[in-house]
Chains A and B, each alone.
Chain A
Amino acid sequence: MQKQTVRGFLLLLIGVIQMRAGADEQVRFDRDVLPILSARCFACHGPDAEQRQADLRLDQEQDIHREHTEGIPVVAGNPDSSVLLRRVGATDPDLLMPPPESGPSLTAAEQHTLRLWIEQGAEWGLHWSFRPQVRPDVASGGAAAIDELVGRQLAARSLQLSGPADPYRKVRRLYLDLIGLPPTPEQADAFAADPSPERWEQLVETLLQQPQFGEHWARMWMDLARYADTKGYEKDRGRTMWPWRDWLIGQLNADRPLDELTQELLAGDLLPNATMDQRLATAFHRNTMSNDEGGTDNEEFRTLAVKDRVDLTLQVWMGLTAGCAKCHSHKYDPLSQQEYYGLYAIFNQTADADRPDDAPLLDVQGADEQEQEEQLQKSVTALRRQLRQLQRQPDPAESERWQVPIPVHSEAGGDAVCTVDASGVISVSGPSPAENDYTIRLPLAAGVLSGIRIQALVPDEAGNPGVGRNPEDPNFVLSELELSIAGSDKSFQPLRIARATADFSQQGWPVTAAFDGDLKSGWAISPRQSEMHTAVFVLSDPVQIAGNSTLQLVMRQRYGRSLTMRQFRISVTAAAATEIEGDVISPAVQNVQSELADAELKLKQFRTGLPRVPVMEELPAEKRRETRLHHRGNFLDPGDSVQAGFPQAFAAIAAADMGSPGRLDLANWLMSDLNPLTSRVWVNRIWSRVMGQGIVATEEDFGALGALPSNPELLELLAVEYRENGWSLRGLLKSICLSNVYQQDSAVTAALLQADPENVLYARASRYRLSAEAVRDQLLAVSGLLSSRQGGPPVMPPQPPGLWRSTYNSENWVNAEGADRYRRSLYTYLKRTTPFPALTTFDSGSGEYCLIRRIRTNTPLQALVLLNDQTALEAAGALALRMMQQPTQQRLEWGMRQALIRPIAAAEAEPLQRLARELRAEYGADPESATALLSSARVEPAEATDIPELAAMIVVAGTILNQDEFLTRN
């Protein structure tokens, strides 16, 4: 008994020490209690029903007050009757919770927190990030409110903001943060001459409007979107995604509000009258990897892609890690496996299916290209029409050789109707039996008959029905042509056909088969059903015709499926066989045909030249997939059918009845004013990008296991304002950059470091190494090499040779020449299995998975890049060349200034001076190595340049570009 008391006292003591932040402070459920319960108890007493023990849930208020077999877990106001406390503090290992084998016991302080909480009434609440956003109590808004809220926290710890940063440091910081590039010294001077708040605001505005703004912020989005220029997995073939990247840059530069962007990214194709841009937006979720390896199951990789879309969407917009719910209900956050597949069902209805061609694809074209294509299409249509009309007219050039007698009799089988027009064209209409024999009788004048010609015509109707009567397949098969002739005695004598020619015969269906006595064979013309076709039949012996004779043709078409002629014309000739055999096609028709072929080829080439980008497309109603839960995440082990829907925990968002929601509903759900997370997650992300770290340190996890916000009111303010100001990225950045918190100095004192080593309170500006892209872009910018060209296909700047070895295709890395060698880094070709090493060494991603934030590392390999990379060398060369154009005395200071932007004191350049002198002498004595260095650095000096001096300057420039101050955002 006594022992108990002592222990209780000790507990209390520890508790008191623990609570020193504020002795009267009320225990708060979400801040103090929930983290304990979720980390220590939820695995077995949480949302996951499969793992739940003792039928007890500690994640639900009603369950903790319910009578269980051993009593009531939590009795408000009465810690000693609360079973929860008894179990976590048990000395008997059989009673102790959590069970000793499944994890360490609760610390005394944790137990004390639970005790206090119960004593104070066991007030329940939602996890902080799931609660509705409430504007904090602050008089001002925007930048002033940021200052006030940061100031409050600092004041509570007897700290204050550092003073404003030096104008040069500030202006460089702002450029790097907003556009990812440094200012020129001149731009910095312009600001430093008048560093007033008004000028600062102007500068912020100006930078937010720069075209480079979109490029810089697109890179963040590309990390989130797992953007890459290849498909991933083993084969990792190329894929055209860059038009989406260019679209993204355009949207950011237009400051498209996040709610609209979200709709278009997730469901642009489903918007009414979706534009090309809106459909292109959906390529966002086609950045998933796809597997072209032979023998893999496309469905496996399709389902993986769909899951990736669910995971990424929840993580990017709501900061929730959903991945584990693929296999089992989430253990810590309220997302059951069933609910996971409810979200999966929303994404499960798109047409893409891990096919090698990446279908469905969108031909992406701008207004110019659209007009160009229309022109090409028009000329094709016009030529086709011209050809058809030309073919329908008898060719006047042939009128001496071929006559067109007007039939005296025409008849078709079944109830088909034959009509004859004044020009002798015979049309068959009405019922269309599967097989049909046409019988045609023509009056012949006295003379010679040496051959006949049949021209199958295409009616001059809109939509080009083709030469045959079957609308599904307007082919015809002339099985047998039987000719006979009758004189005045009316008895028909058969005529024998010797040879025949045709303008075109289907493979295996030659025109000679139309008189081989076999009804199973014949003349047919697929696949050219939409054109006129002509056959000339030469008689074995020319026949002398007496007056009033009649020629009879029986055209047997016995193939079936109504493959019979629709319209035709018959001509007769007396000319010699050698003259007529070529008359299957007239020179005029031939001309137009070749023009048409050209035009069609041009159109085709134009279309294949257009970038074709994988996009989302909803399946038609009859092809929609049934979604089933995947047992243990295995797509081959389907469980119950699941309806599309949103997680219950966020039921408040979906107040409106959404029925079976689709992607557009999902977008609206994410961006709903009632969604507690989206705005918090996004402002935290943006804050982190400019301030060095998030208010919530775990940018990727706002769930129960994530970190708590270091300044909850600040996060709340930013979140509410971002939403209320129409989700404007520019607006948000402007508020942050105008604050004194942003503009303060970054110098660290020992006291500041002691009080706040990680700078979570923001009593100084953060200082960190620039991102991979900014490191490289800055090198190019200050050396004057950077190309300002925006957009277009990805480029291949130099990388160490031999990295790319593609086993499966001929894609090679060919180091770019000209401007493409010096483009901004976001345009660098990103192959997922072999990403650009100079960037990955500085922590850029491979594009295989969504990268929520980059972990900054610091290794000798980074130093090797800066010492030895070809781009770094060329940058040093270019900077050296420009330094040489300065007066000798000012060269080094000038070079330093280009890199560091701020004014350089003469003394600072002193050490460089010494190195330069030494090197100049050495290179003077060794001109060969000077020339070799120039050539490696691609420096082409003007005549009369002091070569040893230039070589020395290259090494000095390399030194300047390697300084920490240059690589650091200060």
Chain B
Amino acid sequence: MTSTPFYSRRSLLQELGGGAGALGMLSALQADAGPRVGLHFPGRAKRVIHLFMNGGPFQGDFFDPKPALRKYAGQRPESADLRTERRTGGLLPSPFRYRQHGESGLPVSELLPLTARCIDDICVLRSTWTDNPNHGPALLLMNNGTILPTRPSMGSWLSYGLGSENENLPGYVVLCPGKPVRFSILWTSAFLPGSHQGTYINHSDLRPERLVPFLKNPNADRSRQGRQVGLIRQLNEEHLRQTGPDTRLEGRLQAMETAFRMQFTATDAFDLAQESRSTRDAYGEGHFANGCLLARRLSERGVRFIQVYYGNGQPWDTHNDHHNASRNLAKAIDQPIAALLSDLKQRGLLDETLILWGGEFGRTPTSENGSGRDHNHYGFTTWMAGGGVRGGMSYGETDDFGFQALHNRVHIHDLHATILHTLGIDHEQLTYRYAGRDFRLTDVAGRVIQEILQS
């Protein structure tokens, strides 16, 4: 597929009268004609929820038991002598006990007793790795496939490739009770049309007027405002016609209409008060629980890509007092994640919703500062669930200490390629021509991990 940056799909469709594609780009353009599943082939998943543990959890604490750590505690064997961001010391065993769970018998540590019950729906990728041990570049790589801030994020690519399932809401919503490091650049659409940019919502205060502050207009009569918005579009299109192509202006054109429609649907979508007591109790309390529940409500309504950042700054960045911090963080995510998985399953949504869990990197099995762990990009755990991914399996292996991914390594490009695949997108074909060359989310790399996909 090719595309040009100076015609939006919509305006092109209009110019072509919605007719047959002479330019061979209609496969993507059809996305606007209505919701679709799969761009290049039928996909199992329709949307993605990304549970982002910003700061980077330690893989050995959750799904990747490493008994050898205990044996070599305090030592620094040659294979654990890897450079990370800061200097680390000897091996620091994870004190958390593992047990086998579910029919699959996959080991999950005591930190996640409730999530463990869903293990048969989870595919643990133990061998994920990334390029850079610093937060900024690693966050960017996870989000846009490069360490550069000027590339479209994964959510923008999905929104661009698949269009919207619900034109009353943004296609890409970012929930964070605060601001992750690098903030809005993490969900930029860069050179993709502006309408595919992530819409950031700070959900630290759940009152709907606080979540989306300008949603209510006491004077808004739907018909009047509808005609007003229609007229604004007309004026804007005229302006655009005079000044020449501009993807950002076109993005705003669309944003205005989404905004108009959001007024009548977003209150509903974002209002957790509409959930029953038992559902609220099932998810539990706290920002992350609320984020997961909002994510379910948004995914039900067809938002393409929902990112739930765990918290402000980089809460998982445990350079000190790692064990206690990890215990508390795990407590905050365990119940909500278990609830989200069961809830989606019960509603029949899990199969068409891909859940991705993980940080921008992992942490070292060696100690930093005595009680802390440093960033580790050599090997760490992410997991997927739903969306046509096989549950109850683990893929890939790290070394004896959980430092480096050794077998069946999964680079972020592979992760991206696989995610796109579950949605029916060939990562090598989802391209965008800009500044004289074709760009894609996976650059020139990426392998779909077929082994983890349901047949």
Question: In the complex the two chains form, is B224's CB within 8 Å of A955's CB?
Answer: yes
Q: Which residues of A contact B244 (CB under 8 A)?
A: 747-750, 752-753
CA distance A695 to B368 in the complex (A): 41
Are B435's CB and A758's CB within 8 A? yes
- Kindly state the separation between the CA atoms of A967 and B256 in the bound complex, as whole angstroms: 13
Could you tell me the distance in whole angstroms from the C-beta of A750 to the nearest C-beta in chain B? 5
Q: Decide: B369 and A632 in contact? CB cutoff 8 A.
A: yes
Q: 1/0 contact trace for A908-924 toward B, CB 8 Å?
A: 10011001001100100
Contacts of B260 in A (CB 8 A): 863, 867
Q: Is there contact, CB below 8 Å, between A837 and B86?
A: no
Instruction: Give the number of residues in A that approach B within 8 Å (Cβ atoms).
Output: 73
A769 to B198, CA, bound (A): 18
- B13 beta carbon closer than 8 Å to chain A: no
Instruction: Judge if B346 is at the interface, Cβ distance under 8 Å.
Output: no
Q: Report whether A803 and B253 are in contact in the complex, using a CB–CB cutoff of 8 Å.
A: no
Residues on A with beta carbons closer than 8 Å to the beta carbon of B134: 324
Contact with A along B131-168 (1 / 0, CB 8 A): 11010000000000000001000000000000000000
For A748, the closest partner residue in chain B by CB is: B244
B5 / chain A contacts, CB cutoff of 8 Å: 753, 757
Question: Which residues of chain B from 180 to 219 have a CB within 8 Å of any chain A CB?
Answer: 183-185, 188, 191, 194-195, 197-200, 207, 209-210, 212-219
Which B105-132 residues have a C-beta within 8 angstroms of A?
Answer: 129, 131-132
A-side contacts of B212, CB under 8 Å: 861, 864
Chain A proximity of B88: nearest CB distance (Å): 11
Q: Is A578 an interface residue (CB 8 A)?
A: no
Cross-chain contact A864 with B197 (CB below 8 angstroms): no
**Set of chain B residues within 8 Å of A918, measured between Cβ atoms:** 227
Which of A747, A841, A868 makes the CB contact (< 8 A) with B220?
A: A868
Shortest distance in angstroms between A676's beta carbon and chain B's nearest beta carbon? 25
Looking at chain B, what size class is its interface with the partner chain? 35 or more
Q: Which residue of the partner chain, among B199, B239, B246, B319, contacts A860 with CB atoms under 8 Å?
A: B199
Asked if B434 is at the interface (CB within 8 A of a chain A CB), the reply is yes
Decide: A867 and B259 in contact? CB cutoff 8 A.
yes
Instruction: Please name all residues of chain A whose beta carbon is closer than 8 Å to the beta carbon of B53 when the two chains form the complex.
Output: none
Are B245 and A750 in contact (CB-based, < 8 A)?
Answer: yes
Residues of B within 8 A of A802 (CB): 207, 209-210
Query: How far does the Cβ of B400 sit from chain A's closest Cβ, in whole Å?
Result: 15
How far, in angstroms, from A801 to B218 measured CA to CA in the complex?
13
- What CA separation (Å) do A838 and B435 show in the bound complex? 34
With contacts A753-B245, A843-B184, A859-B199 known, is A869 near B227, CB below 8 A? no
With both chains docked as a complex, state the minimum distance between the C-beta of B173 and any C-beta of chain A, in angstroms: 10
**A40 vs B132: C-alpha distance in the bound complex, in angstroms?**
11
Q: Report the bound CA distance from A873 to B219 in whole Å.
A: 10
Q: Which of A753-788 touch B at CB < 8 Å?
A: 753-754, 757-758, 767-769
Contact check: which of A50, A324, A632, A800 meets B209 at CB < 8 Å?
A: A800
Min CB gap B291→A, angstroms: 18
What's the least CB distance linking B325 to chain A, in Å? Answer: 15
| B232 close to A (CB within 8 Å) | yes
B224 touches A922 (CB 8 A): yes
Partner of B214, one of A837, A919, A959: A837
Chain B neighbourhood of A104, CB < 8 A: 131
Q: Which of B185, B216, B227, B253 has the most CB of A within 10 A?
A: B227
Q: Assess whether A867 is in contact with B214, with CB atoms less than 8 Å apart.
A: yes
* Whole-angstrom distance between the Cβ of B243 and the nearest chain A Cβ: 6
The CA-CA distance from A632 to B317 in the complex, in Å, is 14
Contacts of A837 in B (CB 8 A): 213-214
B213 touches A800 (CB 8 A): yes
Determine the distance from Cα of A908 to Cα of B255 in the docked complex, in whole angstroms: 23
Chain A residues whose CB sits within 8 angstroms of the CB of B248 once the complex forms: 768-769, 856, 858
Inter-chain contact B319/A632, CB cutoff 8 Å? yes
Which one, A278-286, A712-720, A928-936, is touching chain B? Answer: A928-936
Q: Are B231 and A861 in contact (CB under 8 A)?
A: no
B170–A859 contact, CB under 8 A? yes
- B99 contacts A by Cβ under 8 Å: no
Q: Is the CB of B255 within 8 A of A748?
A: no
B252 at the interface (CB under 8 A from A): yes
Contact with B along A952-970 (1 / 0, CB 8 A): 0001001100111101101
How distant is the Cα of A493 from the Cα of B244 in the complex, in angstroms? Answer: 115
A41 to chain B, nearest CB (A): 13
A580 at the interface (CB under 8 A from B): no
**Does the CB pair B234–A864 fall under 8 Å?**
no
A862 within 8 A of B: yes
Q: Report if A936-B86 is in contact (Cβ < 8 Å); known contacts: A837-B214, A855-B185, A864-B262.
A: no
- Contact (Cβ within 8 A) A933 B185: no
Of A757, A799, A803, A863, which one neighbours B255 at CB under 8 angstroms? A863
A863 near B221 with CB under 8 A, answer: no
Tell whether, in the assembled complex, residue A855 and residue B184 are in contact, meaning their CB atoms are under 8 Å apart: yes
B240 touches A (CB below 8 Å): yes
- Write the nearest CB–CB distance from B217 to chain A, whole angstroms: 4
Min CB distance, B422 to chain A, in Å? 25
State the Cβ distance, A878 to closest chain B Cβ, in Å. Answer: 16
Is A101 part of the binding interface, using a Cβ–Cβ cutoff of 8 Å? Answer: yes
Q: Once the chains bind, are A862 and B255 in contact (CB under 8 Å)?
A: yes
* Distance, CA A327 to CA B329, complexed state (A): 24
A936 to B434, Cβ gap below 8 A? no
Quick check: A861 and B199 within 8 Å, CB to CB? yes
Are B235 and A757 in contact (CB-based, < 8 A)?
A: no
- B234:A911 contact, CB within 8 angstroms: yes
* B184 and A327 contact, CB distance less than 8 A: no
Residue of B214, B219, B220, B262 touching A800 (CB-CB under 8 A): B214
Given A749-B244, A767-B243, are A861 and B82 neighbors across the interface (CB < 8 Å)?
A: no
Query: When the two chains form their complex, are residues A958 and B243 in contact, meaning their CB atoms are under 8 A apart?
Result: no
Q: Is the CB of B246 within 8 A of A859?
A: no
Per the 8 Å Cβ criterion, residues 560-607 of A in contact with B are none
The one of B200, B252, B319 that contacts A964, using a Cβ cutoff of 8 Å: B252
Say which residue of A53, A752, A767, A859 sits within 8 Å of B83 (CB atoms): A53
Across-interface contacts of A679 in B (CB, < 8 A): none
For residue A911, which residues in chain B have a CB less than 8 angstroms away from its CB? 231, 234-235
A964 touches B253 (CB 8 A): yes
Give the contacts of B250-292 with A (CB-CB under 8 A). 251-253, 255-256, 258-260, 262-263
Query: What separation, in Å, do the CA atoms of A968 and B259 have in the docked complex?
Result: 19
CB distance from B189 to the nearest CB of A (A): 8
Closest to B204 in A: A833
By a CB distance below 8 angstroms, the chain A residues around B435 are 757-758
Give the chain B neighbours of A867 by CB distance below 8 A. 214, 217, 220, 225, 229, 256, 259-260, 263
Answer yes or no: B96 CB below 8 A from chain A CBs.
no
Residue with the highest number of chain B CB atoms closer than 10 Å, among A838, A912, A962 = A962
Query: What B residues does A869 contact at CB under 8 A?
Result: 214
B234 and A970: CB pair below 8 A? Answer: no
User: What residues of chain B lie closer than 8 Å to A103, measured between beta carbons?
Assistant: 131-132
Q: Given A44-B83, A748-B244, A859-B170, do A864 and B228 touch, yes or no (CB 8 Å)?
A: no
Q: Given A53-B83, A757-B191, answer yes or no on A747-B243 (Cβ-Cβ < 8 Å).
A: yes
**Closest residue to A324 on the B side, CB-wise?**
B134
Using a CB-CB cutoff of 8 Å, which residues 307-360 of chain B contact chain A? 319-320
Interface residues of B in 369-401 (CB under 8 A from A): 369, 378
Q: Is the pair A750, B6 in contact by a Cβ cutoff of 8 Å?
A: yes
A959–B255 CB distance below 8 A: no
Q: Does A738 contact B (CB under 8 A)?
A: no
B249 touches A (CB below 8 Å): yes
17 new A-B contacts, CB < 8 A, other than A102-B83, A965-B236, are A101-B404, A103-B131, A748-B246, A757-B5, A802-B210, A841-B213, A857-B184, A858-B252, A859-B170, A859-B197, A859-B255, A868-B220, A868-B263, A955-B224, A962-B232, A964-B236, A964-B239
Q: List 13 A-B contacts (CB under 8 A).
A: A103-B131, A328-B87, A753-B244, A802-B209, A858-B255, A859-B255, A860-B256, A863-B259, A864-B212, A867-B256, A908-B238, A955-B228, A959-B232
The 8 closest A-B pairs by CB, nearest first: A748-B244, A863-B259, A860-B259, A868-B217, A860-B258, A864-B214, A858-B194, A863-B256
